[in-house]
């Protein structure tokens, strides 16, 4: 028998339905991989008993013929999603003992569909980072690493690494400025950040509320389509969640892309763009062209301002969202003589360096006298960035860009540790999409000269994940990327 | 206008004061969560994960709070803003679980309005409303259980509040008092806030400054926080204004500050200067899209608005012939006005008003009963007045009947019947008593005839006594005069 | 707009964080580097542009006024670092 962890979710579901394999066998295979893969530090908490219990229920449902959409699928959950009764930490010392008393809507949707949770996945602290190095549980190792340990990307680094190393059938991720797409690209897997409002944010520890979106990270496009259908949907507990109906995304997979207008933004090809990345991009363009898609040059003129806008808005919102971590109602407390000392001691010792840096920047840009110069200015440019996309989508149906300007880099890279801006620059291709609230998927397209995965990003119109999936599926067929 | 000028040997000063009033919104559940707003339960019982600021929790707006705010806005004769935005006010405090309060800043739900207040000298004055917005209430800290700890109870946290901000239009403590009473009356009429200042469901902050009389400048102000009665608000304003005058006359300056009012001493006490930590870093609440009201929603509220005190008062004067003073007393709260209207329906409204404002209020006061617990219903009081109007009993007997009704809640007719107090209007029967009294008191008859006219009252009294109060006093008077010549 | 050490300390105070004396200079420099970088935005002409508050174009929908939550005191207090008599406890707060 082949390794069950090689199966995609679609394959595993059909194997379980036809009783070729049981949910228990599948789950055990992943648990074994999880144990073997501990060197990657992808899981911060393993919950094999939880997954096995779910598998038991799943097998009963298969026996009765009452199986649900994702019955018996073992998944890993980013440690930003509150899971009832299962420790949830955002990979921050400040709440490293937190046991949620309720379930996030997205994970509840997965549970309702029959998913079992293998454990909680490592990430950058409060999703702030692009390399998973800010986690209080230490960095995650990219399974593609050879002689040098490479980062898996971030912030959903544990999720990407776990999927790549087959330590789960799929994982949840969250994306604020690229946190699903960039690690997916670095680890050679597929991930989609849906349109803002598609997935409920209820029960996900907030980083930047106007940007945060949950999404699936999986082995291929079809699995992402299956998962997103289950994860998404209106939630009355989240006032920003959309009431638009969620289509069956798998229906469009395999549809012809002939005549589809693919936008190629000029601004994403700066001078000195990494040659491997450029080559992969050109190859992807050729694949779509060969299928009869129309390639359109477009312009997104405010692209270069997306990063500074993001690094005003996201820290501003974060500075407020993270105020609740004060040592009073939950989490770690570091005592003080007065309440103020308690706050200061708790927060200074509980938060890591990058989180504190962003809280400081966010606090400053909102403070009296600077609000208009920074925050309001950023909101205005954010509008211009959104308008750029609106204009571009007058001319094209979907936009194709690289996901990241680089492939995975070594853990502990000096230039990035010494200058956080160098780290921020890695998000250059992903943040504008987040600011505009659009759906974007990253899929592996090929390998760099030194054998590391490169990702392509497909950006769609708001709530048009279908075109994104359709195009991605076509590219996936042609790229025939070999997973680990 | 009622003058309030602080006069010292050195000069004359004028008060400049504005108010911020927090009114707890009447609703079943909290403004952003489904937890109950019930007051007085065990600590942390009426608390959801949202109210306790747990990670990942999100606010969902309560429609009733919006409706109540619009209703109140209409009651303040104010502009209703169809587009409003929630903002976060960021500050760390034990009573602020999220580390911010969800409120409205740049775009409040209610814009400018005004309230007319009546003053003791018979004049009235418009107080302008600058804005009103909705927000969440804070938790409560309890300091007196443990000497080393403060305890936090989140039951109140997240109850809806309306914050009403006036322009600095107040020139006297009396105006402050009149405004608070009027505002309380309006929100109670509307049922949007129960207006109980002593329970904290209505709380007042006053911004106070003074300036030389005749000048137009606006000087630094002191903000007196959380005053919990109308009387205290008036005292606080007066004390603080005088304190500031003293300060200026000593050649000192006032620095913007926050104070607290001490009801025991009647003084304001310095708490702190405005400082850097008052930088609240407001920004639009990303968890809530803008609130957009449609016309139908507002129209529906307008259609179902209750008659407000001003309109009711005008109607009582115009249609029922009450004096403006009586009308305003009866209209101060809706329950009294409703009681009055019910009792007065189809009757002499003035007579009913007199009964309510006289014996009836006195009875409630003596028994320390609220109107809704009154032993005498509006209907029964009305029927008591009927008995007088129909000459079945006289005014004096009515007071006795009233006293019995207050004790037993009996029907007035039954009391009259039982006691045999039905007034005798049969002239011949009364005449017999009159004759008897005259016959038995020849000395007084002689005295009367000799010019002691004031003895008439004594004769009336004797006749009434003999008749056990049932004789019609008018007939008694008439007969006596006739017979005494 | 470059910030000075005093501002760094003030911002830290607002955020309830402490910057150690010996790290203030370095924090200030890093802060200024980031501010300088984000000030690229000044190049963009934004006159007449409406600030984007929410990418979600759907309006706010309210819930009905019903009591659907609460009465979960144990769960509310489950993660409390310190609680007594059903209250959260903190060092004495004096106004």
Nearest to B64 among C65, C69, C95 (CB): C65
Residues of the domain holding A89: 8-249
Interface list for B 16-35 with C (CB within 8 A): 27-29, 33-35
pLDDT at C94: 75
Bridge partners of residue B273, in order along the sequence: B257
Ranking B87-96, B104-113, B394-403 by mean pLDDT, the lowest is: B394-403
Whether A327 is in a domain gets the answer: no
Q: Does C37 touch chain B (CB under 8 A)?
A: no
Q: Does B141 touch chain A (CB under 8 A)?
A: no
CB contact under 8 A, C65 and B147: no
Q: What mean pLDDT comes out for the span C2-13?
A: 93
| Helix residue spans in A194-325 (DSSP H) | 221-231, 275-290, 306-321
Return d(Cα A16, Cα A66) in angstroms, integer. 12
Whether C33 is in a domain gets the answer: yes
Q: Does C55 touch chain A (CB under 8 A)?
A: yes
Using 50, 70 and 90 to split pLDDT, how confident is the model at B122? Answer: confident
Tally the domains of chain C: 1
Q: Which residues of A are catalytic?
A: 78, 155, 179
Interface test with B, best of A108, A243, A323, A339 (most B CBs within 10 A): A323
Nearest to C95 among B61, B271, B288 (CB): B271
Residue B78 burial (CB < 10 Å; 0-12/13-18/19+)?
buried
CA distance B30 to chain C (A): 8
| Exposure b/e, B379-415, CB count within 10 A at least 16 = b | ebbbbbbbbbeeebbbeebbeebbebbbeeebbbbeb
Q: Does B48 touch chain C (CB under 8 A)?
A: yes
CB contact under 8 A, C41 and A378: yes
Q: Which residue has the tokens 């608005």?
A: B305
Q: Does C91 touch chain B (CB under 8 A)?
A: yes
CA distance C79 to chain B (A): 10
Interface list for C 63-92 with A (CB within 8 A): 63, 72, 75-76, 78-82, 88, 90-92
Nearest to A302 among C44, C75, C88 (CB): C44
Whether C22 is in a domain gets the answer: yes
Residues of the domain holding C30: 5-43
Look at B110 and A484; give whichever has higher pLDDT.
B110
Interface list for A 15-44 with C (CB within 8 A): none
* Residues of chain A contacting residue C75, judged by C-beta atoms under 8 Å apart: 101-102
Q: Which of B292, B174, A347 is nearest to C13 (CA)?
A: A347
Bridge partners of residue A481, in order along the sequence: none
What are the phi and psi torsion angles at B248 (to 5°)?
Answer: -65, -40
Q: What mean pLDDT comes out for the span C60-65?
A: 96
Structure tokens belonging to residue B257 = 């500050």
Residue B277 pLDDT greater than 70, yes or no:
no
CA distance B165 to chain C (A): 25
Q: Does A315 touch chain B (CB under 8 A)?
A: no
Interface list for B 151-190 with A (CB within 8 A): 152
Interface test with B, best of C8, C73, C88 (most B CBs within 10 A): C88
* Residues of chain A contacting residue C11, judged by C-beta atoms under 8 Å apart: 360, 363-364, 367
Q: Does C89 touch chain B (CB under 8 A)?
A: yes
Using 50, 70 and 90 to split pLDDT, how confident is the model at C95? Answer: low
User: What share of chain B in percent tops pLDDT 70?
Assistant: 99
How many angstroms separate the first and last alpha carbons of chain B? 56
* Residues of chain C contacting residue B281, judged by C-beta atoms under 8 Å apart: 14
Q: Which of A69, A65, A46, A57 is nearest to A23 (CA)?
A: A57
CB contact under 8 A, A366 and B90: yes
Q: Does B451 touch chain A (CB under 8 A)?
A: no
Return d(Cα B254, Cα C14) in angstroms, integer. 26
Return d(Cα C81, Cα A383) in angstroms, integer. 43
**What is the number of CB-based contacts under 8 A between chain B and chain C?**
132
Interface list for C 46-65 with B (CB within 8 A): 53-54, 56, 58-60, 62-65
pLDDT by position in tens, chain A (length 484): 579 999 999 999 999 999 999 999 999 999 999 999 999 999 999 999 999 999 999 999 999 999 999 999 999 999 999 999 999 999 999 999 999 999 999 999 999 999 999 999 999 999 999 999 999 999 999 999 999 999 999 999 999 999 999 999 999 999 999 999 999 999 999 999 999 999 999 999 999 999 999 999 999 999 999 999 999 999 999 999 999 999 999 999 999 999 999 999 999 998 889 999 999 999 999 999 999 999 999 999 999 999 999 999 999 999 999 999 999 999 999 999 999 999 999 999 999 999 999 999 999 999 988 999 999 999 999 999 999 999 999 999 999 999 999 999 999 999 888 888 888 999 999 999 999 999 999 999 999 999 999 999 999 999 999 999 999 999 999 999 999 8
Q: Does C92 touch chain B (CB under 8 A)?
A: yes
Return d(Cα B275, Cα B394) in angstroms, integer. 70
Using 50, 70 and 90 to split pLDDT, how confident is the model at B66? Answer: very high
Interval B217-268: pLDDT, tens: 999 999 999 999 999 999 999 999 999 999 999 999 999 999 999 999 999 9
Residue B206 pLDDT greater than 60, yes or no:
yes
The CATH number given to whatever domain includes residue A123 is 3.90.1300.10
Chain C contact partners (≥3 CB pairs within 8 A):
A, B
Return d(Cα B343, Cα B379) in angstroms, integer. 5
Interface test with B, best of C65, C74, C92 (most B CBs within 10 A): C65
CB contact under 8 A, B42 and C73: yes
Chain B contact partners (≥3 CB pairs within 8 A):
A, C
Return d(Cα A269, Cα A289) in angstroms, integer. 19
Return d(Cα A33, Cα A143) in angstroms, integer. 12
Using 50, 70 and 90 to split pLDDT, how confident is the model at B139? Answer: very high
CB contact under 8 A, C38 and A379: no
Q: Does A90 touch chain B (CB under 8 A)?
A: yes
Residue A216 burial (CB < 10 Å; 0-12/13-18/19+)?
buried
Nearest CA in chain C to B292: C59
Q: Beta strands A116-121 and A74-78: pairing type?
A: parallel
Decide: A371 and B89 in contact? Cβ < 8 Å.
Answer: no
CB contact under 8 A, A367 and B61: no
Whether A389 is in a domain gets the answer: no
SS3 A167: coil
Nearest to B148 among C75, C88, C92 (CB): C92
| DSSP, res A83 | B
| Exposure b/e, B28-65, CB count within 10 A at least 16 = b | ebbbbbbbbbeeeeebbbbbbbbbbbbbbbbbbbbebb
Q: Which of B479, B381, B401, B391 is nearest to B433 (CA)?
A: B479
Q: Which residue has the tokens 């008749």?
A: B467
Interface test with B, best of A237, A374, A382 (most B CBs within 10 A): A237
SS3 B12: strand
CB contact under 8 A, B286 and A210: yes
Nearest CA in chain B to C55: B289
CB contact under 8 A, B56 and A205: yes
H/E element holding B222? strand B222-227
CA distance C48 to chain B (A): 18
CA distance B99 to chain A (A): 5
CB contact under 8 A, B34 and C14: no
pLDDT at B276: 64
Decide: A9 and A250 in contact? Cβ < 8 Å.
Answer: no
Please report the DSSP string for A312-380 in residue order: HHHHHHHHHHGGG-SSSSSS-----SSHHHHHHHHHHHHS-HHHHHHHHHHHHHHSTTTHIIIIIHHHH
Q: Does B84 touch chain C (CB under 8 A)?
A: no
Interface test with A, best of B29, B43, B47, B58 (most A CBs within 10 A): B58
Whether A446 is in a domain gets the answer: no
Whether A153 is in a domain gets the answer: yes
pLDDT at A1: 54
Which one of 3.40.50.720, 1.10.10.10, 1.10.10.410, 3.90.1150.10 gives the CATH number of domain B427-484? 1.10.10.410
Q: Does A240 touch chain B (CB under 8 A)?
A: yes
Whether A484 is in a domain gets the answer: no
Return d(Cα A335, Cα B177) in angstroms, integer. 45
Decide: C11 and A360 in contact? Cβ < 8 Å.
Answer: yes
Decide: C87 and C74 in contact? Cβ < 8 Å.
Answer: no
CATH 1.10.10.410 domain locations along chain B: 427-484
SS3 A454: strand
Q: Which of B272, B43, B264 is nearest to B150 (CA)?
A: B43
Nearest to A339 among C3, C82, C90 (CB): C90
Decide: A144 and A49 in contact? Cβ < 8 Å.
Answer: no
């Amino acid at each position: 028998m082949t390794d069950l962890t090689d199966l995609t979710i679609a394959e595993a579901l059909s194997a379980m339905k036809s009783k070729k394999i049981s949910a228990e066998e599948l789950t055990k295979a992943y648990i074994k991989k999880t144990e073997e893969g501990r060197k990657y530090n992808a899981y911060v908490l393993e919950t094999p008993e939880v997954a096995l219990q779910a598998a038991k229920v799943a097998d009963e449902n298969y026996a009765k013929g009452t199986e649900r959409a994702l019955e018996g699928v073992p998944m890993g959950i980013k440690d930003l999603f509150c899971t009832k009764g299962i420790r949830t930490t955002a990979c921050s010392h400040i709440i490293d003992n937190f046991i949620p008393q309720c379930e996030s809507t997205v994970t509840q949707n997965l549970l309702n569909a029959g998913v079992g949770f293998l454990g909680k996945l490592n990430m950058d602290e409060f999703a702030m980072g692009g390399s998973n190095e800010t986690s209080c549980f230490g960095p995650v190792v990219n399974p593609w690493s050879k002689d040098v340990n490479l980062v898996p990307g971030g912030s959903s680094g544990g999720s990407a690494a776990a999927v790549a190393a087959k330590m789960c059938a799929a994982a949840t991720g969250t994306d604020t400025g690229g946190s699903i797409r960039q690690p997916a690209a670095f680890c050679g897997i597929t991930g989609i950040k849906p349109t803002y409002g598609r997935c409920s944010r209820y029960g996900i520890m907030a980083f930047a509320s106007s940007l945060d979106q949950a999404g699936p990270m999986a082995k291929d496009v079809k699995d992402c389509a299956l998962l997103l259908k289950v994860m998404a949907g209106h939630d009355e507990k989240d006032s920003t969640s959309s009431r638009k109906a969620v289509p069956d995304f798998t229906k469009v997979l395999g549809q012809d892309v002939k005549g589809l207008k693919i936008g190629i933004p000029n601004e994403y090809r700066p001078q000195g763009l990494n040659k491997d990345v450029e080559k992969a991009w050109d190859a992807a363009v050729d694949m779509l062209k060969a299928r009869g898609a129309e390639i359109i040059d477009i312009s997104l003129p405010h692209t270069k301002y997306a990063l500074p806008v993001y690094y005003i808005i996201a820290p501003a919102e974060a500075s407020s969202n993270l105020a609740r971590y004060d040592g009073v109602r939950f989490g770690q407390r570091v005592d003080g003589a007065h309440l103020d000392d308690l706050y200061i001691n708790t927060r200074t010792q509980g938060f890591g360096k990058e989180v504190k840096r962003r809280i400081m920047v966010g606090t400053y840009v909102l403070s009296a006298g600077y609000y208009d110069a920074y925050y309001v200015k950023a909101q205005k440019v954010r509008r211009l960035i959104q308008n750029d996309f609106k204009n571009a989508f007058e001319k094209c149906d979907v936009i194709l860009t690289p996901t990241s300007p680089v492939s995975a880099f070594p853990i502990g890279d000096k230039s990035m540790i010494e200058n956080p801006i160098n780290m921020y620059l890695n998000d250059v291709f992903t943040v504008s999409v987040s600011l505009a609230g659009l759906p974007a998927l990253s899929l592996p397209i090929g390998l760099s000269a030194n054998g590391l995965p490169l990702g392509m990003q497909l950006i769609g119109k708001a709530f048009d994940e279908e075109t994104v999936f359709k195009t991605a599926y076509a590219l996936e067929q042609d790229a025939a990327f070999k997973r680990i | 206008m009622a003058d309030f000028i602080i006069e010292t040997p050195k000069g004359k000063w004028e008060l400049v004061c504005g108010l911020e009033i927090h009114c707890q919104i009447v609703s079943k559940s909290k403004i952003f969560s489904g937890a109950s707003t019930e007051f007085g339960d065990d600590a942390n019982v009426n608390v959801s994960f949202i109210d306790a600021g747990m990670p990942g929790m999100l606010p969902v707006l309560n429609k009733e709070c919006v409706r109540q705010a619009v209703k109140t806005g209409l009651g303040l004769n104010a502009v209703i803003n169809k587009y409003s935005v929630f903002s976060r006010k960021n500050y760390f405090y034990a009573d602020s679980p999220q580390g911010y309060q969800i409120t409205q800043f740049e775009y409040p739900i209610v814009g400018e309005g005004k309230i007319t207040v009546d003053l003791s000298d018979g004049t009235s004055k418009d107080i302008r409303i600058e804005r009103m917005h909705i927000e969440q209430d804070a938790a409560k800290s309890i300091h007196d259980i443990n000497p080393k700890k403060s305890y936090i109870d989140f039951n109140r946290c997240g109850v809806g509040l309306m914050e009403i901000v006036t322009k600095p239009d107040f020139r006297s403590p009396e105006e402050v008092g009149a405004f608070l009473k009027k505002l309380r009356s309006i929100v109670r009429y509307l049922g949007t806030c129960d207006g109980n200042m002593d329970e904290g469901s209505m709380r007042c902050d006053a911004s106070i400054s003074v300036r030389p009389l005749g000048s137009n400048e606006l000087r630094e102000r002191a903000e007196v926080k959380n005053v919990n009665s109308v009387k205290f608000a008036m005292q606080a304003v007066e004390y603080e204004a005088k304190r500031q005058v003293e300060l200026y006359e000593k050649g000192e300056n006032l620095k913007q500050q926050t104070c607290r009012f001490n009801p025991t001493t009647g003084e304001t006490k310095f708490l702190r200067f405005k400082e850097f930590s008052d930088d609240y870093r407001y920004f639009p609440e990303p968890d809530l899209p803008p609130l957009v009201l449609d016309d139908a929603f507002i129209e529906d509220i307008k259609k179902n608005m209750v008659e407000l005190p001003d309109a009711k008062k005008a109607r009582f004067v115009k249609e029922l012939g009450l004096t403006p003073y009586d009308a305003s007393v009866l209209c101060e709260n809706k329950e009294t006005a409703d009681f009055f209207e019910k009792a007065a329906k189809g009757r002499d409204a003035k007579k009913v008003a007199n009964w309510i404002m006289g014996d009836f209020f006195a009875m409630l006061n003596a028994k320390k009963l609220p109107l809704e617990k009154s032993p005498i219903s509006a209907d029964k009081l009305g029927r008591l007045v009927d008995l007088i109007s129909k000459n079945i009993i006289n005014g004096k007997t009515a007071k006795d009947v009233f006293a019995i009704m207050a004790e037993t809640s009996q029907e007035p007719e039954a009391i009259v019947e039982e006691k045999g107090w039905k007034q005798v209007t049969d002239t011949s029967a009364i005449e017999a008593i009159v004759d008897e009294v005259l016959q038995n008191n020849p000395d007084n008859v002689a005295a009367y005839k000799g010019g002691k006219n004031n003895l008439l009252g004594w004769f009336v009294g004797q006749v009434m006594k003999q008749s056990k109060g049932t004789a019609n006093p008018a007939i008694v008077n008439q007969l006596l005069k006739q017979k005494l010549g | 707009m470059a910030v000075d050490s005093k501002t760094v300390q003030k911002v830290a105070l607002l955020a309830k964080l402490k910057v150690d004396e010996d790290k203030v200079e370095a924090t200030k420099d890093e802060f200024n580097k980031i501010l300088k970088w984000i000030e690229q935005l000044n190049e963009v002409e934004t006159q007449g542009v409406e600030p984007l508050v929410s990418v979600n174009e759907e309006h706010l929908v309210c819930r009905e006024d019903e009591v659907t939550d609460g009465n979960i005191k144990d769960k509310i207090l489950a993660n409390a670092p310190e609680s007594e008599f059903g209250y959260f406890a903190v060092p004495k707060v004096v106004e």
